[in-house]
Amino acid sequence: MSKLILYGTEASPPVRAAKLTLAALGIPYEYVKINTLAKETLSPEFLRKNPQHTVPTLEDDGHFIWDSHAISAYLVSKYGQSDALYPKDLLQRAVVDQRLHFESGVVFVSGLRGITKPLFATGQTTIPKERYDAVIEIYDFVETFLTGHDFIAGDQLTIADFSLITSITALAVFVDIDPVKYAKITAWIKRIEELPYYEEACGKGARDLVTLLKKFNFTFST
């Protein structure tokens, strides 16, 4: 097997999604920490690897892949002993893909980045109420996705769970997940956190992000 190198910062939800995929597959790899706050992704060396200057970035035998969704799908397709994490069945895969697009286009962009970008870029600590409403809508959708299922795309663990667990738990820093209203989400989070590789691949990074975000004295406007 060719040498794999993952570039990232552990507080990043997408980086942890890729790390969960690698851990689930049992693939050895080198992890290179990138300080995004110090703008290391803008260095000429990194830009040659990834002109979009994002993490995670995966290096596989001199080839570079970025975007956690693309990385996870690639890893399962190339190195998975089975297709369980990213099914080859077209209908099952379509459901997984829909959840991945939901995470990237709705949960991450509209939910998480919509809140965190103003925090980091301009120090805007008063978050518009519509951002709160957007998070609640996201929770409502995820609760619906989990109706009748243990996992986000059906009855088996997939890379969609890895993408969504990292971003949904990050949103919970800003908007608590009501364990009564969102009982299915609460049970799902616990189910994922009990995976034997979760703590090493994701747990510490998740706590690092919580610590970082709570340094901002943020409030929602009314």
Task: Give residue for tokens 């809508």.
Answer: 137
User: CB atoms < 10 A from the CB of 142, how many?
Assistant: 22
What lies within 8 Å, CB to CB, of 28 at 6+ separation is 4
**Which pair of structure tokens corresponds to residue 133?**
């409403």
Write the DSSP symbol of residue 41: G
Q: Please report, as a single letter, which amino acid is at residue 43.
A: S
Q: Which of 39, 37, 41, 73 is nearest to 57 (CA)?
A: 41
Q: Which residues are catalytically annotated?
A: 12
User: CB atoms < 10 A from the CB of 180, how many?
Assistant: 6
